[in-house]
Amino acid sequence: MNDARDALDRHYATYRRESPYDDLTRRYTFQTFKPFLRKPGSSALELGCSDGLMTQMIAQEVGQVCVVEGSSNFLRESLARNISNASFVHSLFEEFQATRQFDYIFATFVLTHIGDLNHFFGKVRALLAPDGLLFIAVPNARVLSRQLALRMGLLEDLLALSENDRNHGHCRTYDRVRLNRELTEHGFSAISEGGVLLKPLADFQMDQLIEHKILQQRQIDGLYSLGLEYPDYCGTLFSVCTAKR
């Protein structure tokens, strides 16, 4: 499995650092999840931590969070945040072993990287407490910016892997139909689902609009509200799920 860890570290270099749009996406995604975190002193498992921003937000709402990350580079960035109630395990999801179950499991922006979904969801089911919740977020292949790229002739198929997808090590793309089908096939039921942040332009263009304050907080909040109404045009799809027992 060392080859798999090396591949994760190579993919690390393909991600844009200090992206205001990426940070906003994760903040609004967590804002969408936060109302479901109602259990005092709860335990959480985060599968993949990126630079630890999501970890930090989760840690503020739970008693303890355990983080599993296969990339040593992302792990180093997350550890630098010094989150007191977070523990970190350098491991591939496939190899991770735990002696307990968790109230909440977060799998945000990782499903596109998972090769064996049967193994992944089987492990998630085993680690999720009987009344626990699974939080899923994935990039949306039907996002408005991607549909615009299709009309511009920059894409041939909305659901095909782009060069950027392949650089990031993505195995597949998702729209709402595919995400719901996979969750159902693997024994999960969505109690809430939708989209986060309506996104009209490419990531780098969104970054520029935010950096130059063309998009200000009122517009960004508006894009979030519009996304709740038009999830298929959002950059991110989310599901909050329970496991069928």
Q: Mean of the pLDDT values across residues 19-35? A: 96
Hey, what amino acid is at 32? T
Using CA atoms, how far apart are residues 5 and 97, in angstroms rounded to an integer?
17
Question: Of residues 16 and 213, which shows the higher confidence score?
Answer: 213
Output the average pLDDT for the chain: 90
pLDDT at 72: 87
CA 25, distance to chain mean position in Å, is: 9
**DSSP label at 161?**
P
pLDDT at 165: 62
- Contact in structure between 197 and 36 (CB atoms under 8 Å): no
Q: Give the SS3 label for residue 91.
A: coil
Mean pLDDT lowest for which of 13-17, 33-37, 66-70, 126-130?
Answer: 13-17
HEC string of 37-80 equals CCCCCCEEEEECCCCCHHHHHHHCCCCEEEEEECCHHHHHHHHC
pLDDT at 159: 85
Q: Is the pLDDT of residue 61 over 80?
A: yes
Tokens 């072993």 correspond to: 97
- Contact in structure between 90 and 72 (CB atoms under 8 Å): yes
Burial label, 232 (beta-carbon count in 10 A; 0-12, 13-18, 19+): middle
The structure tokens listed for 232 are 């298929």
Could you tell me which residues are beta bridge partners of residue 138?
A: 237
Q: Mean of the pLDDT values across residues 6-35? A: 77
Using CA atoms, how far apart are residues 110 and 208, in angstroms rounded to an integer?
26
Q: Mean of the pLDDT values across residues 114-138? A: 95
**DSSP label at 233?**
G
- Contact in structure between 203 and 20 (CB atoms under 8 Å): no
**Binning pLDDT at 50, 70 and 90, where does residue 170 land?**
low
Question: Of residues 132 and 17, which shows the higher confidence score?
Answer: 132
**pTM of the full structure:** 0.91
pLDDT at 6: 47
Q: Mean of the pLDDT values across residues 58-83? A: 93
Q: Give the SS3 label for residue 96.
A: coil
pLDDT digits (tens, 9 = 90+) for 103-113: 999 999 999 98
Cβ neighbours for 245, distance < 8 A, ≥ 6 positions apart: 130
The structure tokens listed for 36 are 């479901």
Domains of the chain: residue spans and CATH: 2-241 (3.40.50.150)
